């Protein structure tokens, strides 16, 4: 398999896996649940819903919610019935005279307003969400670091297995054309997201913009893993020619540096940019075959001297 074909195969496999994951996750939720990122949710009178979770927007329950109702940022207006808990993280909950909450009523910043006749089956408690978030801060950061570490190691192993020629071409691009590699990496890191954003603001270009954004994740992982392999090759030098050893050494160095605050993020950004540029230069060089090396011509034979008398 040629270098550009191998790189395209690896990227296509990763993109297909990402798309499949998104489709499976999108169909996993129950049909009666309401999960809204922005815009709010409404359960009209006479209708039934399961859990209602809204990150940003107003929650209005006039009907019946059989599960929990959670509002992260936005008010909650309840005139119907909630069988589970009602949670208002950063805004106020308003319970009308006919409101019924079977579980607890938990709030963060503003105390809820209960009209005469509203009932809460459980407790009404104030929660300190800020302290809870601080306690989980380091855990979430470590989880993110672990997820990136595992994913980049898997992508690196796929590259070593499926596209060793692409890695060698990227390493040669860094060694022979460093500034062109950096330039192309910066141009791609800035230009592709900008192109996706410009496409998203037009109705016709939305599918193209979404496709670019979906492709960004696997491509960035490929770029990072490529730089990790190049770093490993540089560190090992002539002591080892194993591509797997180069991957493990380079990946280990970058992931340890990623634990350093601020500096680790800058190292990761630089590694991704260099990887993007190296792959771009390697693909360009692969499509333009090098001229065969010319063998030096033998010197022309001089006149033959007459034999001595």
Where are the chain's structural domains? 34-129, 137-287
Whether the pTM exceeds 0.85: the reply is no
Please calculate the CA angle 93-97-98 and round it to the nearest 5 degrees. Answer: 95
Q: Which of 148, 211, 286 is nearest to 11 (CA)?
A: 211
pLDDT of 169 reads 92
pLDDT of 215 reads 85
Please state, in angstroms and rounded to a whole number, the distance separating the CA atoms of residues 258 and 271: 11
| pLDDT one digit per residue (tens) for the chain, 309 residues | 444 444 444 444 444 444 433 333 333 344 488 888 777 899 999 999 999 999 888 999 999 999 999 998 899 999 999 999 999 988 899 999 999 999 999 998 889 999 999 999 999 998 876 655 555 567 777 888 999 999 999 999 999 999 999 999 999 999 999 999 999 999 999 998 888 888 888 777 788 888 888 888 899 999 999 999 999 999 998 888 899 999 999 999 999 999 998 999 999 999 999 999 999 999 888 876 655 545 555 455 555 555 554
Q: Which of 60, 21, 68 is nearest to 39 (CA)?
A: 60
CB 192 within 8 A of CB 273: no
Q: Label the pairing between strands 41-43 and 119-120.
A: unpaired
pLDDT of 137 reads 61
């Amino acid at each position: 398999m040629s270098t550009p074909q191998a790189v395209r195969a690896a990227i296509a496999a990763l993109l297909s896996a990402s798309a499949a994951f998104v489709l499976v996750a999108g169909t996993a939720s129950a049909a009666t649940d309401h999960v809204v990122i922005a815009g709010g949710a409404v359960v009209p009178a006479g209708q039934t819903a399961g859990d209602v979770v809204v990150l940003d927007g107003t929650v209005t329950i006039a009907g019946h919610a059989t599960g929990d109702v959670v509002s992260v940022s936005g008010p909650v207006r309840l005139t119907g019935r909630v069988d589970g808990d009602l949670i208002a993280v950063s805004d106020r909950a308003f319970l009308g005279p006919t409101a019924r909450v079977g579980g607890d009523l938990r709030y963060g910043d503003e105390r809820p307003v209960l009209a005469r006749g509203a009932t809460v089956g459980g407790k009404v408690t104030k929660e300190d969400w800020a302290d809870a978030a601080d306690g989980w801060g380091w855990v979430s950061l470590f989880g993110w670091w672990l997820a990136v570490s595992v994913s980049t190691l898997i992508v690196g192993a796929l590259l070593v297995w499926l596209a060793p020629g692409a890695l060698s071409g990227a390493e040669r691009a860094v060694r022979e054309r460093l500034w062109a590699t950096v330039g192309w990496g910066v141009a791609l890191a800035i230009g592709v997201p900008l192109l996706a954003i410009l496409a998203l603001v037009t109705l016709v270009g939305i599918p193209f913009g979404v496709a670019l954004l979906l492709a960004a994740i696997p491509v960035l992982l490929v770029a990072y893993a490529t730089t990790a392999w190049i770093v490993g090759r540089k560190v090992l030098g002539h002591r080892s020619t194993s591509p797997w050893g180069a991957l493990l050494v380079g990946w280990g160095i970058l992931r340890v540096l990623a634990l350093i605050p601020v500096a680790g993020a800058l190292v990761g950004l630089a590694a991704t940019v260099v990887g993007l540029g190296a792959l771009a230069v390697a693909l360009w060089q692969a499509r333009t075959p090098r001229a065969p090396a010319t063998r030096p011509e033998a010197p022309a034979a001089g006149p033959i001297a007459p034999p001595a008398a």
